[in-house]
Each structure stands twice: as structure tokens, then as C-alpha cells.
């Protein structure tokens, strides 16, 4: 798999950049995943006040969260220009739809609180439609990509599954950031979305080896099977644990056990994020070292070494700084969401 | 003209980037203006605070529109111009990456604290967050204008097999046209914001507002505009001389000069004809172009006939005149208004209405200026390195681009109308007595 004729920087730099890109995409999927999930759940809210609280729960974070997508696609563009051209031209329409969705969602945040009151619902709808469209399009892009840009039906299925997964992350985030009736609803949403997510992950895990013999060989050869077994086993265990946990939280809300509720409010989001990370890890193993499935490896697609060096310094300094001040921002806005106001 | 994939790709990119640039043009300078309001405000309650509270809303809205259209741009480099990245990705990529790493995260994160964190952090930290957002927006402009300027006047690279490789990064970034373009754009942003602030404040005053922040906003906008416009004219002249040295064909198209001549005229009006290669209905001042381009009356100015490749003349010629025309209008209007205000008088109604009408004049000038310089670079995408025709996506069909183009155009049209409507609506509501929000009064929807 790893080319024998490459050594030193030519071998390691592309590998490092692929790792950084994967990191940026995973962070994006988890962070903007909860934003989009909250957007998908927005029509299910019980009142205008609840919708305001839901939007407040993601308001301070979504912009920085979305920037991880720009970083991920930026690294693809910059470090692997050939793969960037092939992937994005093949995914042309889903990318256009995703961008339209992200545009609608992003501007609806601001418009919904600035327009006259009678127009507010219109922008709430735009918020929902944008979030759902972006989630469906991203899942479809993933489905197209792993099958080498062929299976449309399969890709659309992944789109629906990813929207379900984002709804799980969003509900988990709301359990953490809200209380009262909204939190109770969020527990209910999370329990529904969990089955969507589990079914989606199972479908992708079973379908990818079946449609691609290379991936089948990577997973089911005897010498690696046992090293890889923890990924599916941990995923199954995590789904079971989440199901039990959410049932407990639902019971706590019925019994008005505030102590139990608030003490464990972080767990559903943390569990769902871990589930996403495990699925991502499995997928990364399936696809490695290809950026364009079975056509272009990350070494074949890498750009000139001197450009990678110039960027590496920037990344090594900037990414820790970004993580640092993002953490600060999350600390500033910790605790239950309050209705946002400028001053 | 058949609408082939290349034409559609160019229309789509032009539509996207034109829509996008409207919003950073506002946020770049408005961020610094908000920092100024914030510093004048301090921690007392005064008119500067009202001004800050009003304009931070418009800043947030403009910022969101800039972010979402910017994300679209980052994808379109790959979807519409894969040839661009193949040929010059080694240069363009890292510059874009540095924009994301040093600017996007910084502004996005501290914007949250600037907008919503006032109750959660100290006043000092809040001011610091505002300052970091200012730095972020300006850094963003720095990187993107470094890349754009490199596309006009590329230096610091070597070509191997048609692919550009960076040899000297500081020569790439600080290429010959960069300082002029960067300064010209920053001041353009300042002017756009000045007329926006003056325009919306004038709108409020014209509607009879007696609010102190409407008058203060008017003064800030008018004085800022009056100070920046002479600076911008000077910078524009320097930028033009720089273009003459590096891209003489663009200057020839801007001036509408077909044949190389001494004592070249400054053409005020003409209809350039690409077929017969001459101007119709020309109104010109003899020798003036030679004077401001070469600083002598009989200096030689090279005509379009001298160049094997030159841009289409009419769009460059006309967009340049629109930019200069709007600039002159800004000069007259801001100096007239400033002279009245400096004498301590209120602006007459006709001036308030003129300022309201020119609320978005900065947008017109900025777009016209960008069309001048970008169309003026054609047929090159990167001067002498890559032709536009060689950079377009080969395996995306015209139908696909047609679908996405209609989608974007619809979305952008709706958003621009909504943006302008919301700005004027915010201005009206700033002076309306506070009404209880109807849906809050609905008892059914109150939480138990």
C-alpha cells in the first residue's frame, strides 16, 4: 500500500497532510453536525421561545464550526490539488446543493432576529430547510465518494442516514445546553435519532465491503481482523450504552430528578460524538491510502513539497492557537443556553 | 454567443465573487468603526453606545452573508476552475490556507464574544475581542489580495512543465501590484462603510428622527467619507501608474486608446468598437491622458494595437468610468455635506435624500473597480502564466453548471433584496417606540 520508492519528506508530508485533513473533517462533522442537527430538529420545537433557545444554543459557535469545513476542503485543495479537482467536479451537484443549504442556514441565524416579527417564521423555515439540505447533500457526497462516484441510490440513503446522525448530535447538544420541557423533548428526539444513526452506520459498514472487494480484503483478512475488531464492537457497545442512558434520562425527566438530569447531561453528546469518531476511523481505514477510490492515492495527488513545507509551519503554529481560543470561546459560553442578545 | 460550459462557469464565478465582495467590503471597515465606537463609548451610557448597538447588528448580518458566500467561493476554485489549481495551486493554495488559518478562525471565534459575550466577559476582554475581529478581517483581505495581485503581476515563482512553483514567498506575497491594490481596497471599504453609515443615518433624519445617534452617525459617515475620498483618488492614481508599468494593455483598454500616440487624450465619453478598432462619438480632452499617465504633455501612451493579447475594451472602458464617476459623486456629496455640518448647521432635506440615495454607492464603485481590473487582465487568468480558457472544468457539463447557476442566482437575488430591506427596516424601527413582540404575548406558547 505504501509506495516503496518514496522516502523522507516525500513520503511523510503527504501522509501528515492527509492526517490533518481527516482531523479537520472529523472536527467539522462533529461540531457543525450538532449545529445542523439542531436546525433539522427546529420544526419539532414546542414554541417560539423554544426555537429561540435552540438557536441560542448554537449561535455563538456555528461560524467557527463551519470554518473547519473550509480548512478541510482547503487542505484538500492545497495539499492534494489533483484529487480536489476530480472529487469536487464529480460531486458537482451535491456540493452546489450543500452550499445553497449552508448559505440559507447561515444567513437565517441573523435574518430571523432582525426582520419584522411577522417574517420570523419564514426564516425559521429557511433555517430548517438549509440545515436539512446541507446534511442530506453531505451524506450523499460521502456515499458517492466511497463507491467511486457510481451508486446514486446508495448515496442518497447515506444522505438520509447522515441527517439522522446529525439530529442525534443536535439532540445530544440540546440535552447539554437546555433544561425544562425543551430538554425533555431533546431526550425523546435523541432516542429516535439513535436508531436512525445506528442503522445508517450498519448499512455503510456492511455495504462498503460488499461493493468494493479491495475494502472487503482489508477488513476480512485474518491477520488484521483482530486488530480491527474493537472498532465495530465498541460501536455496538456504545449504541447500547447510549440507548440505556437516554432511557435513564427520560425516566429522570418524568420523575423531575434534576440532579440526575444535569449531572449526566453531557453524556449523550459525548457518546454520539465518539460514535461518529469510531465510524470515521473505520471509514478512514477502508479508504486509505486512496483519496479518489481505487484511482488516486494521497501520494499521487500531493502537491509540490516546497508548498507543503510553507504551509506546514503555518498549520503547526495556527491549529493549536485555533484550538486554544475555540476552547476559550466554549468556556465563555458554557452552561445552559440563554436567549441571545447583543448587549 | 452560445452558453457553453466555460461561459457559464465564468458567469457563475463572476456572480459569486461579485455577491461575496459586497459584504467583506462592509465588514472590513465597519469592524474598525465599531472598535472606534466601542473605545469612545467606554463603560458609560452615551450616544456612542447607541451607535455601537445599532451598527453591530448590521455588522453581524453582513458578516454572515460574507461567510456563507466565502465558503461557496472556496469550493468553486475546485468545481469551476480545476485548471487554475493544477497550474498555480502551489502558489494559490498556501495563500488561501494562510487566510483560513490566520483570519477565518480568528474572526469567527471572537465574533461570537463580540456579538453575544458582553455579559459574560469583562469590558476589556470584550474590547479585545472586537479588536481581534478587526485584525482578522484585515488579515483576510491581506492574503486574498496578495493572491489576487499575484495573478495580475506574478513574481517569485518558477515554471516547470507549465506548473508554477514558489521560489521566494516574500516576492510572491509582496508582488509589484500588491501594496497599491491592498491600500486601494482598504480605503474602498472605508468609503463604502462611510456612505452606508451616512446613508442610513440620513434616512432616519429625513424621516424626522430626533435620535442623537442618528445625527452622530451622519457626522461620522460624512466626515469619514470626506477624509477618505481624496486619499482614494491619490491611491487610485498610484495604482494606475503601477498598472501602466506592469499591465499596459489594461491601461490602454481603460483609456480607450487604440493606437500608440504622443499627446494622448483623456476620453470622457466614447463607444469603443472592437470590430473597426476605433471609438465612436468620442468626447476627449487632448493631452490629458499623457499628462496623468506619464506626467508630461507629450508622453507616449501605448495603444491596444501594440498588444497581441488585450482585454475586451468596452467593459473595461465603461466600468472604469463608472468607478471614477461614483468617486467624483462621493467627493462632491461628502464635501458639500461636511461643509454644512462643520458650520454647525443641520443638513437640508435635499442633502439628506441625496445621502440616502447613495447609501450603497460604495458597492457600485467597488464592483466597477473590480470589473475594470479583472476583465482588464483577460485573456489571462494569471498574467503570462495561465489563460482563462485553459483553467475551466472539463468534466462538468453545461447543464450541471446551468442548474447550480440558477440556484445561486435565485438565492443571491433574494438575499440582496432581504439585506437591503432589513437595513432600512432596522433604521425605521430604531426610531419607532418599542412595541411588545406579538408572539411573546401569546399565553398558549408560554412554557409552564
pLDDT tens for each residue of B278-295: 888 888 888 888 888 888
Contacts of residue B437 in chain A, CB cutoff 8 Å? Answer: 117
Reported as a pLDDT band with limits 50, 70 and 90, residue B177 is very high
**What's the mean pLDDT in B66-76?**
86
B412-425: pLDDT as tens digits = 999 999 999 999 99
Grid cell for residue A161: 442516514
Query: What pLDDT is stored for residue B434 in this prediction?
Result: 52
Reported as a pLDDT band with limits 50, 70 and 90, residue A81 is confident
Q: Under 8 Å CB-to-CB from B72, ≥6 apart: which residues?
A: A99, A102, A103, B16, B20, B408
At residue B18's C-alpha, the angle toward residues B188 and B112, to 5°, is 75
**What's the mean pLDDT in A191-210?**
88
A127-151: pLDDT as tens digits = 999 999 999 999 999 988 888 888 7
Lowest mean pLDDT among A45-49, A151-155, A172-176: A151-155
Whether A70 sits inside 8 A of B100 (CB atoms) is: yes
Q: Does A202 touch chain B (CB under 8 A)?
A: no
* Mean pLDDT value across chain B: 88
Lowest mean pLDDT among A91-105, A259-273, B350-364, B407-421: A259-273
Closest CA to A238 of A205, A197, A184: A197
Query: What pLDDT is stored for residue A157 in this prediction?
Result: 87
CA distance linking residue A104 with residue B407, whole number of Å: 12
CA distance linking residue A196 with residue A168, whole number of Å: 9
Query: What pLDDT is stored for residue A238 in this prediction?
Result: 93
Q: Under 8 Å CB-to-CB from A282, ≥6 apart: which residues?
A: A205, A228, A231, A232, A235
Q: What is the pTM of this model?
A: 0.89
CB atoms within 10 A of CB B75: 23
Closest CA to A8 of A276, A332, A234, A299: A299
The answer to whether B51 touches B37, Cβ cutoff 8 Å, is: yes
- pLDDT of B92 > 50? The answer is yes
CB–CB contacts below 8 A, A to B: 234
Reported as a pLDDT band with limits 50, 70 and 90, residue A118 is confident
Query: What pLDDT is stored for residue A131 in this prediction?
Result: 96
Query: What pLDDT is stored for residue A20 in this prediction?
Result: 92
CB atoms within 10 A of CB B230: 12
Contacts of residue A48 in chain B, CB cutoff 8 Å? Answer: 439-440, 442, 445
- pLDDT of B231 > 90? The answer is yes
- pLDDT of B74 > 90? The answer is no
Grid cell for residue B437: 413582540
Residue A292 dihedral angles phi and psi, to the nearest 5°? -110, 115
Give me the residue label for grid cell 440563554.
Answer: A338
Strand residues in B313-385 grouped as ranges (E): 380-382
- pLDDT of B443 > 70? The answer is no
Burial degree of B83 (CB within 10 A; 0-12, 13-18, 19+): buried
Q: Under 8 Å CB-to-CB from B227, ≥6 apart: which residues?
A: none
Residue A83 dihedral angles phi and psi, to the nearest 5°? -65, -35
Q: Does A312 touch chain B (CB under 8 A)?
A: no
Query: What pLDDT is stored for residue A1 in this prediction?
Result: 55
Q: Under 8 Å CB-to-CB from B195, ≥6 apart: which residues?
A: B221, B225, B330, B334, B355, B358, B359, B360, B361, B362
Sign of CA dihedral B357, B359, B365, B371: negative
B347-357: pLDDT as tens digits = 899 999 999 99
Query: What pLDDT is stored for residue B119 in this prediction?
Result: 84
At residue B201's C-alpha, the angle toward residues B69 and B419, to 5°, is 25
Q: Give the residues across from B266 on adjacent strands.
A: B285
Contacts of residue B447 in chain A, CB cutoff 8 Å? Answer: 47, 49-50, 180-181
The answer to whether A124 touches A51, Cβ cutoff 8 Å, is: yes
Query: What pLDDT is stored for residue A110 in this prediction?
Result: 87
Provide the shortest C-alpha distance from residue A8 to chain B (in Å).
Answer: 20
CB atoms within 10 A of CB B328: 12
Which of A7-11, A22-26, A336-340, B92-96 tops mean pLDDT?
Answer: A22-26
The answer to whether B23 touches B407, Cβ cutoff 8 Å, is: no
CB atoms within 10 A of CB B151: 21
**What's the mean pLDDT in A86-115?**
90
User: Distance of CA B93 to CAs A99, B77, B166, Å?
Assistant: 21, 10, 11
**What's the mean pLDDT in A170-184?**
91
Reported as a pLDDT band with limits 50, 70 and 90, residue B320 is very high
Closest CA to B66 of B8, B126, B144, B120: B144
What percent of chain B stands above pLDDT 70?
A: 95
CA distance linking residue A7 with residue A19, whole number of Å: 18
Query: What pLDDT is stored for residue A21 in this prediction?
Result: 93
Query: What pLDDT is stored for residue B63 in this prediction?
Result: 92
- pLDDT of A171 > 90? The answer is yes
Instruction: Residue window 4-23, chain A: list those with CB within 8 Å of chain B.
Output: none
ipTM: 0.86
Q: Any alpha helices (H) in B153-210, and if so which ranges?
A: 169-173, 178-206
Query: What pLDDT is stored for residue A229 in this prediction?
Result: 84
Provide the shortest C-alpha distance from residue A176 to chain B (in Å).
Answer: 19
Reported as a pLDDT band with limits 50, 70 and 90, residue A307 is confident
* B265 or B217: which leads in pLDDT: B217
B7-33: pLDDT as tens digits = 888 888 899 999 999 999 999 999 999
Provide the shortest C-alpha distance from residue A178 to chain B (in Å).
Answer: 13
Residue B280 dihedral angles phi and psi, to the nearest 5°? -105, 155
* Mean pLDDT value across chain A: 88
Query: What pLDDT is stored for residue B276 in this prediction?
Result: 83
Q: Does B328 touch chain A (CB under 8 A)?
A: no
- pLDDT of B444 > 60? The answer is no
Which of A41-50, A55-64, A130-139, B157-166 tops mean pLDDT?
Answer: A130-139
Sign of CA dihedral A285, A289, A294, A295: positive
Instruction: Residue window 95-124, chain B: list those with CB within 8 Å of chain A.
Output: 96-98, 100-102, 104-106, 108-113, 115-121
- pLDDT of B229 > 80? The answer is yes
Contacts of residue B104 in chain A, CB cutoff 8 Å? Answer: 67, 70-71
Whether A329 sits inside 8 A of B60 (CB atoms) is: no
Reported as a pLDDT band with limits 50, 70 and 90, residue B238 is very high
Query: What pLDDT is stored for residue B433 in this prediction?
Result: 62
Contacts of residue A103 in chain B, CB cutoff 8 Å? Answer: 68-69, 71-72, 411, 415
Closest CA to A72 of B142, B78, B60: B78
- pLDDT of A251 > 80? The answer is yes
Q: Does A226 touch chain B (CB under 8 A)?
A: no
Whether A93 sits inside 8 A of B105 (CB atoms) is: no
DSSP-assigned letters across all residues of B102-159: IIIHHHHHHHHHHHH-TTTS-HHHHHHHHHHHHHHHHHHHHHHHHHHHHHHS--SEEE
Query: What pLDDT is stored for residue A341 in this prediction?
Result: 66
Amino acid at each position: 500500500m505504501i509506495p516503496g520508492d518514496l522516502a523522507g519528506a516525500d513520503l511523510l508530508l503527504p501522509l501528515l497532510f492527509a492526517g490533518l485533513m481527516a482531523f479537520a473533517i472529523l472536527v467539522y462533522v462533529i461540531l457543525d453536525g450538532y449545529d445542523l442537527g439542531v436546525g433539522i430538529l427546529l420544526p419539532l420545537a414546542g414554541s417560539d421561545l423554544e426555537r429561540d433557545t435552540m438557536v441560542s444554543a448554537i449561535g455563538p459557535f456555528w461560524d467557527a464550526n463551519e470554518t473547519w469545513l473550509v480548512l478541510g476542503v482547503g487542505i484538500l485543495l492545497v495539499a492534494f490539488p489533483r484529487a480536489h479537482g476530480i472529487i469536487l467536479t464529480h460531486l458537482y451537484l451535491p456540493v452546489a446543493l450543500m452550499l445553497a443549504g449552508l448559505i440559507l442556514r447561515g444567513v437565517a441565524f441573523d435574518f430571523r432576529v432582525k426582520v419584522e416579527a411577522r417574517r420570523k417564521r419564514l426564516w425559521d423555515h429557511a433555517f430548517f430547510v438549509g440545515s436539512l439540505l446541507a446534511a442530506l447533500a453531505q451524506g450523499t457526497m460521502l456515499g458517492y465518494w466511497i463507491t467511486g462516484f457510481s451508486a446514486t441510490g446508495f448515496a442518497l440513503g447515506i444522505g438520509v442516514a447522515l441527517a439522522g446522525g446529525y439530529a442525534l448530535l443536535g439532540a445530544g447538544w440540546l440535552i447539554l445546553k437546555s433544561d425544562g420541557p425543551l430538554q425533555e423533548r431533546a431526550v425523546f428526539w435523541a432516542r429516535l435519532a439513535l436508531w436512525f444513526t445506528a442503522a445508517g452506520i450498519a448499512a455503510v459498514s456492511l455495504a462498503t465491503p460488499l461493493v468494493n472487494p479491495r475494502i472487503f480484503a482489508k477488513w476480512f483478512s485474518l491477520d488484521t481482523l483482530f486488530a480491527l475488531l474493537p472498532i465495530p464492537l465498541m460501536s455496538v457497545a456504545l449504541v447500547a450504552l447510549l440507548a440505556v442512558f437516554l432511557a435513564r434520562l427520560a425516566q429522570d425527566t418524568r420523575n423531575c430528578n434534576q440532579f440526575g438530569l444535569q449531572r449526566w447531561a453531557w453524556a449523550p453528546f459525548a457518546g454520539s460524538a465518539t460514535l461518529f469518531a469510531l465510524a470515521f476511523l473505520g471509514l478512514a481505514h477502508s479508504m486509505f491510502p486512496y483519496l479518489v477510490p481505487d484511482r488516486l492515492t494521497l501520494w499521487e495527488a500531493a502537491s509540490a513539497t516546497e508548498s507543503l513545507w510553507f504551509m506546514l509551519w503555518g498549520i503547526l503554529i495556527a491549529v493549536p492557537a485555533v484550538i486554544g481560543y475555540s476552547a476559550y470561546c466554549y468556556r465563555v459560553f458554557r452552561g445552559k443556553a440563554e436567549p441571545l442578545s447583543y448587549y | 454567443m452560445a452558453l457553453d460550459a466555460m461561459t457559464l462557469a465564468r458567469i457563475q464565478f463572476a456572480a459569486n465573487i461579485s455577491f461575496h465582495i459586497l459584504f467583506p467590503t462592509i465588514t472590513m471597515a465597519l469592524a474598525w468603526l465599531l472598535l472606534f465606537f466601542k473605545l469612545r463609548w467606554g463603560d458609560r451610557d452615551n450616544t456612542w453606545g447607541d451607535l455601537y448597538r445599532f451598527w453591530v447588528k448590521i455588522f453581524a448580518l453582513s458578516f454572515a452573508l460574507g461567510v456563507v458566500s466565502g465558503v461557496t467561493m472556496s469550493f468553486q476554485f475546485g468545481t469551476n476552475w480545476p485548471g487554475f489549481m493544477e497550474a498555480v495551486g502551489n502558489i494559490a493554495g498556501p495563500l488561501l490556507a494562510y487566510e483560513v488559518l490566520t483570519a477565518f478562525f480568528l474572526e469567527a471565534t471572537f465574533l461570537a464574544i463580540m456579538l453575544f459575550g458582553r455579559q459574560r466577559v469583562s469590558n476589556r476582554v470584550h474590547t479585545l475581542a472586537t479588536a481581534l475581529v478587526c485584525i482578522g478581517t484585515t488579515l483576510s483581505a491581506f492574503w486574498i489580495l496578495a493572491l489576487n495581485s499575484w495573478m495580475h503581476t506574478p513574481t517569485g515563482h518558477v515554471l516547470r512543465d507549465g506548473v508554477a512553483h514558489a521560489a521566494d514567498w516574500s516576492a510572491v506575497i509582496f508582488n509589484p501590484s500588491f501594496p497599491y491594490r491592498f491600500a486601494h481596497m482598504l480605503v474602498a471599504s472605508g468609503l463604502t462603510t462611510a456612505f452606508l453609515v451616512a446613508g442610513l443615518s440620513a434616512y432616519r433624519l429625513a424621516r424626522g428622527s430626533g435620535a442623537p445617534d442618528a445625527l452622530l452617525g451622519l457626522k461620522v459617515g460624512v466626515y469619514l467619507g470626506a477624509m477618505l475620498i481624496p486619499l482614494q483618488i491619490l491611491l487610485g492614481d498610484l495604482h494606475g501608474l503601477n498598472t501602466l508599468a506592469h499591465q499596459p494593455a489594461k491601461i490602454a483598454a481603460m483609456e480607450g486608446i487604440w493606437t500608440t500616440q504622443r499627446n494622448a487624450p483623456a476620453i470622457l465619453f466614447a463607444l469603443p468598437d472592437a470590430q473597426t478598432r476605433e471609438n465612436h462619438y468620442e468626447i476627449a480632452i487632448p493631452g490629458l491622458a499623457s499628462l496623468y499617465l506619464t506626467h508630461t504633455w507629450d508622453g507616449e501612451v501605448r495603444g491596444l494595437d501594440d498588444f497581441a493579447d488585450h482585454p475586451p475594451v468596452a467593459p473595461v472602458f465603461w466600468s472604469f468610468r463608472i468607478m471614477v464617476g461614483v468617486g467624483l459623486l462621493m467627493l462632491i456629496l461628502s464635501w458639500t455635506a461636511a461643509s454644512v455640518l462643520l458650520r454647525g448647521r443641520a443638513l437640508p432635506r435635499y442633502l439628506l435624500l441625496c445621502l440616502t440615495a447613495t447609501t450603497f454607492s460604495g458597492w457600485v464603485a467597488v464592483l466597477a473597480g473590480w470589473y475594470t481590473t479583472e476583465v482588464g487582465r483577460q485573456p489571462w487568468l494569471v498574467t503570462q502564466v495561465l489563460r482563462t480558457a485553459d483553467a475551466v472544468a472539463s468534466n462538468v457539463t453545461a447543464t450541471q453548471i446551468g442548474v447550480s447557476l440558477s440556484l445561486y442566482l435565485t438565492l443571491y437575488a433574494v438575499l440582496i433584496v432581504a439585506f437591503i430591506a432589513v437595513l432600512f427596516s432596522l433604521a425605521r424601527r430604531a426610531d419607532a417606540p418599542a412595541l411588545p413582540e406579538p408572539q411573546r404575548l401569546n399565553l398558549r406558547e408560554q412554557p409552564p
